[in-house]
Amino acid sequence: MTDTSADLVILGGGSGGYACAFRAAELGLSVTLIEKDKLGGTCLHRGCIPTKALLHAAEVADSARESSQFGVKASLEGIDIDGVNSYKDGIVSKLHKGLQGLAKAHKVNYVEGAGTLVDANTVEVDGTRYTGTNVVLATGSYSKTLPGLEFGGRIIASEQALNLDYVPEKVVVLGGGVIGVEFASVWRSFGAEVNIVEALPHLVPNEDEYCSKQLERAFRKRGIKFSTGVKFTGAEQTDDGVTVNLENGETIDADLLLVAVGRGPNTAGHGYEEAGVALERGFVRTDERLRTNLPGVYAVGDIVPGLQLAHRGFQQGVFIAEDIAGLNPPVIDEAGIPRVTYSNPEVASVGLTESAAREQYDKVETFTYDLAGNGKSQILKTAGAAKIVRAADGPVLGLHLIGDRVGELISEAQLIYNWEALPEDVAPLVHAHPTQSEALGEAHLALAGKPLHVHG
């Protein structure tokens, strides 16, 4: 490989881009990886990792506040936001250094700068053209807003929310999806008054309706207010606060308005259209093997229609590297990608929701196992459930979990779904006691016709 020529040129160093680079290098391909910001992308620096660090700090705050129920005498003196940010930033810095070391170890030619796609084989950075036999587009996403609602002042996106140097007293969160409910959960644990506004009928509307309703119930108990099925109509801000207006005539006053209405594909300004890449609503159109309409050009991650998840982009990056190397990897099943919302309580799922399953199958069965019957969940004092959706006399089609720490159960859940397991296949498996994983075992026992710790 020369400095400007490689087997593979990747535009974007986020989860999808760097995974593709590292796997391709392992397979003997020469790689140029171009990133205008920092290796690791949004997930590491402005998304998944720092957000989950805040959520863990929030969990620690709740544990101190509620310690008496466990017979422990402790108190919460307050939130040291500088200390929280130092903890968060330290994690990000350590992981960033680790990625930089891996890039060097894989002998990836890492180029810092904004890249522009010139043609199917060329990306230009600061006047230098880098050519590749194949090119991968991996430019990620950005925080969206609504028409007429501009970021600035007291109207912020998640990127600004991550770096606040104070805990707001009152916050309105516009959007009840994953990002919205996670920040709402953090701020409530830190002592803020929180009000979520969601235009669709439920919070986390992409999840199974049962989990959405259970999350809403838990949020009510925590004192998190929310308005669902109502549209935002405008916001006015002053030096002292922001007023949010809803279509039902209601107004909400707060210190901050967090706009969490989703993320858009970061495809503008990179030369995609000019080079002939087919776009649809800003997303890059690909086939099931992530190939664009241009020969030798692939796309990965948030710019490809579907779930905007770091681990989806990561796996797509690995897939593309192996595909280019001739390993013919199997196509990724989008429904088989696990989804976790790290609020308190957590929501985790994989596969089809009950409503989606009923649209695709003539007969569907479900079973919901209440965590009240699970010993470890009682030890943790968490409410919740494991809901299983299956085709009648057929495989498991979806698994939906809600409760503290249920995100850790999603690995077994995705194996069950992706291997098209029957409940009868899972029922004989031994689940360690006491663990929350027993909830999955109990649910499958019930669906296999031999319920044990089930009431009613």
Q: Determine the Cα–Cα distance for residues 206 and 401; give it in Å rounded to an integer.
A: 14
Q: Looking at residue 313, which CATH number applies to its domain?
A: 3.50.50.60
> Is 453 inside a domain boundary?
no
- From 241, 261, 281, the end of a domain falls on 261
Which pLDDT value is given to residue 3?
64
> Is 339 inside a domain boundary?
no
Q: Are residues 255 and 159 in the same domain?
A: yes
Q: Determine the Cα–Cα distance for residues 227 and 225; give it in Å rounded to an integer.
A: 7
Token pair listed for 425: 């296949």
Q: Are residues 268 and 138 in the same domain?
A: yes
Mean pLDDT of the chain: 96
Torsion, Cα 312 317 323 324, to 10 degrees, reads 160
Strand, coil or helix: 223? coil
Q: Are residues 56 and 177 in the same domain?
A: no
Q: Are residues 119 and 211 in the same domain?
A: no
Q: How many domains would you assign to the chain?
A: 3
- From 235, 261, 287, the end of a domain falls on 261
226-264 pLDDT per residue, tens: 999 999 999 999 999 999 999 999 999 999 999 999 999
Q: Are residues 316 and 285 in the same domain?
A: yes
> Is 311 inside a domain boundary?
yes
- From 285, 310, 334, the end of a domain falls on 334
> Is 147 inside a domain boundary?
no
Q: Do the annotations mark residue 223 as ligand-binding?
A: no
143-177 pLDDT per residue, tens: 999 999 999 999 999 999 999 999 999 999 999 99
20-29 pLDDT per residue, tens: 999 999 999 9
Q: Does residue 455 have a pLDDT over 70?
A: no
Residues serving a catalytic function are 433
Contact, 297 vs 272, CB < 8 A?
Answer: no
Q: Do the annotations mark residue 454 as ligand-binding?
A: no
Q: Do the annotations mark residue 35 as ligand-binding?
A: no
Enclosing domain of residue 182: 155-261
Strand, coil or helix: 177? coil
Q: Does residue 452 have a pLDDT over 90?
A: no
Q: Are residues 51 and 187 in the same domain?
A: no
Taking the CA of residue 425 as centre, how many other CA atoms within 13 Å lie in the half-sphere pointing to its CB? 14
Q: Are residues 252 and 289 in the same domain?
A: no
Q: Do the annotations mark residue 176 as ligand-binding?
A: yes
> Is 118 inside a domain boundary?
yes
Q: Are residues 255 and 268 in the same domain?
A: no
What's the average model confidence in pLDDT over 364-375?
A: 95
What's the average model confidence in pLDDT over 65-75?
A: 94
190-227 pLDDT per residue, tens: 999 999 999 999 999 999 999 999 999 999 999 999 99
> Is 104 inside a domain boundary?
yes
pLDDT tier at 379, thresholds 50, 70, 90: very high
Greatest distance between any 2 Cα atoms in the chain:
71
Contact, 359 vs 329, CB < 8 A?
Answer: no
Residue type, 445: L
135-151 pLDDT per residue, tens: 999 999 999 999 999 99
Contact, 181 vs 200, CB < 8 A?
Answer: no
Q: Do the annotations mark residue 302 as ligand-binding?
A: yes
* Pairing of β 141-143 and β 263-265: antiparallel
Percent of the chain residues topping a pLDDT of 90:
97
Q: Do the annotations mark residue 141 as ligand-binding?
A: yes
Q: Do the annotations mark residue 153 as ligand-binding?
A: no
Q: Do the annotations mark residue 115 as ligand-binding?
A: yes
Burial of 363 from C-beta contacts in 10 A (0-12 / 13-18 / 19+)? exposed
Q: Are residues 311 and 443 in the same domain?
A: no
Q: Do the annotations mark residue 182 as ligand-binding?
A: yes
Q: Looking at residue 359, which CATH number applies to its domain?
A: 3.30.390.30
Q: Does residue 2 have a pLDDT over 60?
A: no
Q: Determine the Cα–Cα distance for residues 104 and 109; give it in Å rounded to an integer.
A: 8
Q: Are residues 272 and 249 in the same domain?
A: no
Q: Do the annotations mark residue 47 as ligand-binding?
A: no
> Is 387 inside a domain boundary?
yes
Q: Are residues 134 and 203 in the same domain?
A: no
Which pLDDT value is given to residue 318?
98
Q: Determine the Cα–Cα distance for residues 83 and 165; give it in Å rounded to an integer.
A: 10
386-433 pLDDT per residue, tens: 999 999 989 999 999 999 999 999 999 999 999 999 999 999 999 999
**Residue owning tokens 């669902």:** 228
Q: Determine the Cα–Cα distance for residues 437 and 228; give it in Å rounded to an integer.
A: 32
**Alpha-helix runs per DSSP H in 196-282:** 209-222, 272-275
Q: Does residue 374 have a pLDDT over 60?
A: yes
Q: Are residues 18 and 118 in the same domain?
A: yes
Q: Do the annotations mark residue 262 as ligand-binding?
A: yes
For the entire predicted model, the pTM comes to: 0.96
Which pLDDT value is given to residue 219?
98
Q: Do the annotations mark residue 139 as ligand-binding?
A: yes
Which pLDDT value is given to residue 376?
97
Closest CA to 181 of 361, 390, 311, 345: 345
What's the average model confidence in pLDDT over 284-297?
A: 98
Which pLDDT value is given to residue 1?
47
